[in-house]
Structure 1
C-alpha cells in the first residue's frame, strides 16, 4: 500500500528499552478532496530513511498495516492498529501527484432485444 501527500510533521528518533528499539513517527497529509493527516511510524533501521526529508516535502510512502490484540484486565479483547512505513520517495515538484481514485459511475448494460425501455426484472 502507498500513501501520497505532503509531510506535515517529522519527529525525532526515540529509543526504547534495554534492547535499543528505535521508532520515528511522521505525519503525511494526503492529496484528496478531503485531505487526511496520516500518522505512520518507521522502526529500527528504517528510521534513518527520514533524514533527507523535511516538512513540506511531497512524498510517496510505502506502508504495511499492522494489528494486534490485547486482553485487558477485565478479560476483554482490545485491538490496536499501526501504520509502518518501509520506503519513502520524494515526488519532484512540478510532477503530477496522483489524485485519489474517483468513484466510477455504473455502466448501463445494453438491451439484448429491440425495446430499450424493457427492464430486465
Structure 2
C-alpha cells in the first residue's frame, strides 16, 4: 500500500553504504496542521534505498514537497527478545507550489516522460 504526505523539507542526510550492495539515505519533512485552533508540528523521517538515494538532491532545504512512500516493518529476535523497526520508504518526491497541493509539472523525480501526441484513429 502506498501513502503520500506534503510538507517542508527540513533535513537531508548523507548516503550510508550499509553493505557492498545496499545503501540508504534519510531526509525529514516538517508537517504542520491546525487542530482545533492549535498548530501541531510533526517531523517525519523517511528513508530512500538504492537508486532512490539521489531523490533529495533535486530539492533545497525549505522546499515544499510531496513524498510518496511505503511503510515497511521488520521483526527480528535477539537474545530471546522480539524487536521491531518501521521504515517509511520514499520512492517519489515532487515539488509543490506554496499554498497549493498541486504538483509543479516537470519537477517530479523518476516520472515517466509525458506521452507523445497520440493520434486517435479509432472508427468510433
Give, in whole Å, the separation in 1 of the partners of 2:89 and 2:49: 8
More strand by share: 2
1:37 paired with 2:46, answer no
Structure 2: 5+ residue runs without aligned partners?
A: 35-39, 103-124
Q: How many residues align?
A: 95
TM-score by length of 1: 0.72
Give every structure 1 segment of 4 or more consecutive aligned residues whose post-TM-superposition deviation is greater than 3 Å. none
Give, in whole Å, the separation in 1 of the partners of 2:27 and 2:74: 21
What is the root-mean-square deviation in Å for CA atoms of aligned residues?
1.5
8 Å contact kept, 1:4–1:31 = no
Give, in whole Å, the separation in 1 of the partners of 2:45 and 2:52: 15
Match of 2:8 in 1: 6
Structure 1: 5+ residue runs without aligned partners?
A: 99-121
Out of 63, 76, 82, which is 1:77 matched to? 82
Out of 78, 83, 92, which is 2:97 matched to? 92
Give, in whole Å, the separation in 2 of the partners of 1:57 and 1:25: 16
Residue 92 of structure 1: how far off its partner (Å): 1.8
**Max Rg structure:** 1
